[in-house]
Amino acid sequence: MKNLFYIFIGGGLGSVLRFLMSHYTQKLWNINAFPMGTFVVNIIGCFLIGIFSAYFVKIDNYLKFLLITGFCGGFTTFSTFSAENISLWQSGEYIILILYVVLSVILGLGAVYLGLNVARN
């Protein structure tokens, strides 16, 4: 139960920081239609999950729930997606890696498109 509390706190903090960073980055670097705010948040999130994983994934404590699952999960799920892909690559699961990346992008775009159309009708 304690780990859920840490995930809750980390996720809330990560979500608020994602909004603030994305919003102000987009205002600062408004490069045509490029979603710079989301891009910057995703890259920073990937960097952070790499650091946190190196330190906390092997330790059985609540910092991994607060920082990896909670904060990074709330900050960006792209960081989790990227960390999972690195894990597949490191374990030699190349076909699953390619399948995961391709299906995630194609089905993700398709799901957003479908959701938009369902909501409009």
Q: Do residues 36 and 30 lie in contact, with contact meaning Cβ atoms separated by under 8 Å?
A: yes
Annotation: binding site: 73, 76
What global pTM score does this model have? 0.76
Average pLDDT over residues 91-103: 93
Average pLDDT over residues 89-118: 91
Residue extents of the structural domains in the chain: 2-76
Annotation: binding site for Na(+): 73, 76
Inter-residue long-range contacts of 58-66, CB under 8 Å, 24+ positions, other chains counted? 62/2, 62/3, 62/6, 65/3, 65/6, 65/7, 65/10, 66/6, 66/7, 66/9, 66/10
Position 30 pLDDT exceeds 80: no
Check residues 104 and 121 and name the one with the higher pLDDT: 104
Q: What are phi and psi of 58, to 5 degrees?
A: -90, -10
